[in-house]
Amino acid sequence: MTGEQVLFALIKILIMVGFLFNTGAVLTWLDRRQSAMIQDRIGPNRAVIKVFGIEFRLFGLLHTAADGLKFFFKEDFIPPKADKVLFALAPMLAMMPVLALVAVIPFGDTVAIQYLWHRTPSGIIFPAVPRFGAPVPGVGPVDLLIAPLNVGILYAFALAGQGIVGAAIAGWSSDNKFSLMGALRAASQMVSYEVTIGLSLVGAMMVYGTVRLDDMVRWQGENTWGIFVQPAAFFLFFIAAVAESKRIPFDLPEAESELVSGYFTEYSGMKFGMFYFAEYMEIVTSSMLLVTIFLGGWQLPFLHRDGISIDFGYAHVWSTLLPHIWVTIFQVVAFFGKVLLLCSFQAFVRWSLPRFRYDQLMKLGWRVLLPCSLANIMLTGILVLATGHLGAEASGGLKVAADVTQAAVFLTIVGCVLTVAVGFFRPQPHVRWLAGTAARFAQARGGTKPSPMQA
């Protein structure tokens, strides 16, 4: 590798790993904040910092910093009869696959660094690049992913299965029956739902015709997002990904009411922090995969490598060229924005659904999701063979349908942005209401008198 390639690789690693760590930290705050909003109670507000006698709570963000300090300074307890080597190795095995997974996830299109801008006698210009082919012929492009492997999604499958090893070793090496039960639950649950994860993506690979994640995103940019051609696979993958991260409603391996804290009951200090943080980073990586495979990755409706082009079928409506640097910025922001929205939705799901029983969890995986994923593969194969024999008119109709979905996505994005903007600036009336009849009757009689405290 040349010096430039090493530099670009380090920059891409810093972007992806930095986003992964920071988003995982913010999700710990979002869980507290969003759960308080859903349950109508006070959220994180105790961690404060004083500056010249003035308290700053920063919307509860200091709780995340307090958690990190707590993990570093708490006692690192190891059970006397635990296997000390495996006990220390398990948190590393839980975190490292999550970090390595981001190596094959693309966060932007190919970039021609040398042509982001030109210096001319009249000033600096920002040129556009061709829509198809290499961005600039003859110039070495830079792919916005850390490791452009040909195996793509297969590498992600291989790493996703390593999380089972960390959970199983943690439970077995702790010398605790509750930890061992949690490890057995975690291993069986993750194996069961990994089958659905793999099979749900077979249909997507049949449609895209590739296992490379960046090529999947490019196919979606020229046709339609994967959620429109594989809607069943999207929901199957999402459910299985939530179960794989072992979060509510699938948090049976660490159910407090049954197993104390599951397979990491005996862990404390930073070892527990690694398990805790790896769970939140799994949310980010699963959201990245969902965005890449089903939600267009870095693509935005009608935004292409050379600029904006609005087409419906073979009818050209309007187009304009955009500088290569601005297109790259829009695409990178679009990818990370989609990931953040999906992470927030997973937090919403956590605080909205009750926990399954363990037998219900396993039945859902083997009797519902697995047959549905197999049926999706068969139906996708039939449709792929059928569309391959269609004529030019039918192909044009499919192209129009794909462009209509792009327009629908664009209008949905605009509507959501306007709704959020209007709701943010509109004052909300605060209405006081009584929850119970006893309080209402007491209020009607003039209220109640506080009784003196008794010793």
φ/ψ (deg, to 5) at 111? -120, 135
User: Taking 50 as the threshold, does the pLDDT of residue 395 lie above it?
Assistant: yes
Task: State residue 378's pLDDT score.
Answer: 93
Model pLDDT, residue 371: 93
Query: Any idea what the Cα angle at residue 101 is, between residues 293 and 354, rounded to 5°?
Result: 70
pLDDT-based confidence at residue 237 (cuts at 50, 70, 90):
very high
pLDDT digits 0-9 by tens, 45-58: 777 777 777 777 77
Three-state DSSP class for residue 28: helix
Q: What integer pLDDT is reported at residue 138 of this predicted model?
A: 45
Q: Which residue has the higher pLDDT, 394 or 18?
A: 18
- Helix, strand, coil percent content, the chain, rounded in steps of 5: 65, 5, 30
Q: Is the pLDDT of residue 239 over 80?
A: yes
The answer to whether 160 and 244 have CB atoms below 8 angstroms apart is yes
Share of the chain above pLDDT 70, in %: 86
In the structure encoding, which two tokens stand for residue 416, read together?
């959501």
DSSP, res 162: T
Across 322-334, average pLDDT: 89
pLDDT of 259 higher than 70: no
> What pLDDT is stored for residue 125 in this prediction?
67
Whose tokens are 């390593």? That residue is: 162
Using DSSP's 3-state secondary structure scheme, residue 305 falls into coil
Q: Which pLDDT does position 137 carry in this prediction?
A: 46
279-290: pLDDT as tens digits: 888 899 999 999
Q: 65-109, pLDDT tens digit by residue?
A: 888 888 888 878 888 888 888 888 888 888 888 888 898 899 988
- What is the DSSP secondary-structure string of 427-442? PPP-----SSHHHHHH
CA end-to-end distance (rounded Å), the chain: 77
What's the mean pLDDT when you consider all of the chain? 82
**pLDDT by residue (tens digit) across 174-226?**
888 888 888 888 888 888 888 888 899 998 999 998 889 989 999 998 888 99
Which string of b and e fits 29-41 if b means at least 16 CB within 10 Å?
Answer: bbbbbbbbeeeee
Average pLDDT, integer, range 153-157: 85
Of 113-117, 237-241, 270-274, 343-347, the one with minimum mean pLDDT is: 113-117
CA–CA distance, 111 with 324 (Å, rounded to integer):
8
CA distance 73 to 85: 22
Q: Can you give the pLDDT at residue 92?
A: 87
- Residue 217 CB coordination number (10 Å): 27
Is residue 58 left, alpha or beta, with left meaning phi > 0 and alpha meaning psi from -120 to 50? left
Q: Which residue has the higher pLDDT, 163 or 28?
A: 28
Least confident interval from 90-94, 117-121, 451-455: 451-455
Spell out the residues 6+ positions from residue 87 whose beta carbon is closer than 8 angstroms to its own: 78, 79, 170, 173, 174, 266, 271
